[in-house]
Structure 1
């Protein structure tokens, strides 16, 4: 793995922050949830300049203010239209100011855009050389886009790819996950329990998942989260603004499946048998 990226996979569950910081009335609860997560061992916090146009980064900055920075792993993302050699340094500085830190551990291109990958990679490498980021990666990149990235000078320095992955969005298992594993590039799964997605309610009421969760003494959403990280090679970043839900996320790290249970899940929620378009939300 690239540089210190081994720590990402060792930390199989982190904390997402999409939609956090949007409503001032919820700020204290959201900060408390993040602190409960950190205190419970969830050191990876994922955010982006897009989330609330910086509001989520500001919230994260408030939540981490009392912690030792080196004990945390911060991920942020840059808009595609800010990913040029002139705009990226400015966008990064704004993110760092909102976060209240002088570096992020991982800086991602939020999704493919019109700025040439070679220029974005050069900007990322310059930020890395300046000590403002420790590593850089991408988000919402399919196999063909990853292959194109590898053809760019220093493109192989890509340290992670963050994509949609949950029990209802398994398309990447056909080709992207094997490709990333072969390239030794970590996978970060967003929306790992289909939060913010109609499928989340479908799963909650599914007879098989309900029965399996009851047998394990856990919630269906804990089951879904544990399934996403079942191979120990994925970092999931569920989002919650509730401290109790955060505790449940932490507990999901300990959930294990038998081969028979995984077969049952596969029989009901079929893995892909052919290439599928990359799903995004």
Structure 2
């Protein structure tokens, strides 16, 4: 079917290294988008309450005919849902919208400064109660993680951050590696802003691949989990076709030199609510 590698998280749960993100996929598009992805081999779907498409994502999963245990589903608690009791309620609402008995990975979407420690306590309860198979965070920089670790009983197993060759949070990534936290890349293609970069164009020509495939392969070879988004089946197939070639050392060096601290999303320190 495909050769998507599987990574083992610190708690022993296995996650496909490449999945499908559905940020900004409308509720009208979400069912077909996820259905097509599952048909061509995706087994890892990443959504969030904020995306307002959990219901359609869940329906596509349930109607796919694929055994639930073969799928990996992530969702997230949004900023205004944070806090201990609110998070537990938000989780139940997400689970109900998805129509699933359990969630594979539940994340704090953003580090709302005065709320995320209590929010994490709720995620720990969900983990302990067996409602989720794994818990983690999203958009946490090193200093947020260090604050979380001061009171956490269970360590996050994933930190999902904006990551692409133009933005590499080296200190956060290094800290996560030290702590056994897997890095997952959102916006791994930089929202297509950099696909005409000369380095990507050169390497795409060299490997007879697209610039997007070069970027995804960079994530794979850096051992990141990666969730590119596409509503088009042909693009979904293209994003999946990255396991039949490798970037060599010089290729990786050229890609690493693209780093410029350029964000396409919000800065985690600017999130207050």
- Normalised by the length of structure 2, the TM-score is 0.86
Structure 2 match to 1:44 = 44
For normalisation by structure 1, the TM-score amounts to 0.83
Measure, in 1, the Cα distance between the counterparts of 2:177 and 2:183.
8
Partner of 2:54: 57
Counterpart position of 2:251: 261
CA–CA distance in 2 between the matches of 1:133 and 1:250? 27
- Please tell me whether the aligned partners of residues 161 and 186 of structure 1 are also in contact (alpha carbons under 8 angstroms): yes
User: C-alpha offsets along residues 208-237 of structure 1, whole Å, 9 cap, x if unaligned?
Assistant: 3212112211111111111122222x1011
Contact 1:83-1:123 at 8 Å conserved across structures: no
| 1:57-96 deviation per Cα after TM superposition (whole angstroms, max 9, x unaligned) | 1121121112211111111000133222211121111111
Gaps of 5+ in 1: none
Query: 1:90-140: per-residue Cα shift (whole Å, max 9, x none)?
Result: 111111111110110111010011544442222112222332111211111
Q: Is it true that 1:188 corresponds to 2:192 in the alignment?
A: no
Name the SS of the counterpart of 1:3 in structure 2: coil
Conservation of the 8 A alpha-carbon contact between 1:80 and 1:113: yes
- Confirm or deny: 8 A CA contact 1:193 1:221 kept in the other structure: yes
Unaligned runs of 5+ in 2: 1-8, 262-266
Matched positions, count? 256
Q: Give the aligned CA root-mean-square deviation in angstroms.
A: 2.2
1:19 alignment partner in structure 2: 24
* 1:255–1:192 Cα change, 3 Å: farther
* Moved beyond 6 Å, runs of 4+: none
Corresponding residue number in structure 1 for 2:4: none
Tell me, yes or no, if the aligned pair for 1:29 and 1:243 is still in contact at 8 Å: no
Q: Distance in 1 between matches of 2:133 and 2:256?
A: 38
Judging by fraction of residues, say which structure has more helix. Answer: 1
Work out whether 1:2 is the aligned partner of 2:5: no
Partners of 1:254 and 1:193 in 2: CA distance? 19
* Counterpart in the other structure of 1:149: 148
Whole-angstrom distance in 2 between the partners of 1:28 and 1:160: 26
Matches within 5 A, 1:27-106: 27=30, 29-36=32-39, 39-40=40-41, 42-52=42-52, 56-65=53-62, 66-106=65-105
Corresponding residue for 1:120?
119
